[in-house]
Amino acid sequence: MTDSNTRAALQRGISNRRNVLGDAWVERSIGNANTLNVEFQRMITCYAWDGIWSRPGLEPRTRRIMVLAITAAMGRWEEFELHIRTGLQAPADDPAAAALDLDTIKEVLLQTAVYAGVPAGNTGMAIVLKVLSSLDRTPPKADFWAGGTGE
């Protein structure tokens, strides 16, 4: 049984999770609750998705960008992939959904490669390309020798 404060935090957290990760992901998480993981699910919903994602200091998109950089730096690729996929699928006109575009993802990975190491950037790029392919959004070919930096 949860008290009214905890229930309110759960409701706010679920709302944020739905906005950022989508209804299907949240329904699957809630639907897979069992006696082993239900307290963990409640904890991350209240602590992360309400306590952090509800804070006014940063916009949801900035928070998602930070999640990408941190999870890439730490090698938490399942969480990185989740936020790439849901960020690419989020409606661009809904700020609460924290949508991502390819230019932003590219910049996050370039910065991550400098501060967390080229292998992190490289793995992140491979995951992004895999997700894009699964969404039938493969980027067009580019001429390696045309344009770019260092010319």
| Mean pLDDT, residues 100-116 | 98
Q: How far apart are the first and last CA of the chain?
A: 64
Which residue matches tokens 């910049």?
Answer: 107
| Mean pLDDT, residues 57-61 | 97
Higher pLDDT: 148 or 76? It is 76
Spell out the residues 6+ positions from residue 83 whose beta carbon is closer than 8 angstroms to its own: 64, 67, 68, 71
Residue whose C-alpha is closest to residue 71's, from 116, 25, 18: 116
How far is residue 26 CA from its own chain's centroid?
14
Angle ∠(95,100,101) on CA atoms, nearest 5: 125
What average pLDDT is seen over the chain?
Answer: 95
| Mean pLDDT, residues 76-102 | 97
The pTM of the whole model exceeds 0.85: yes
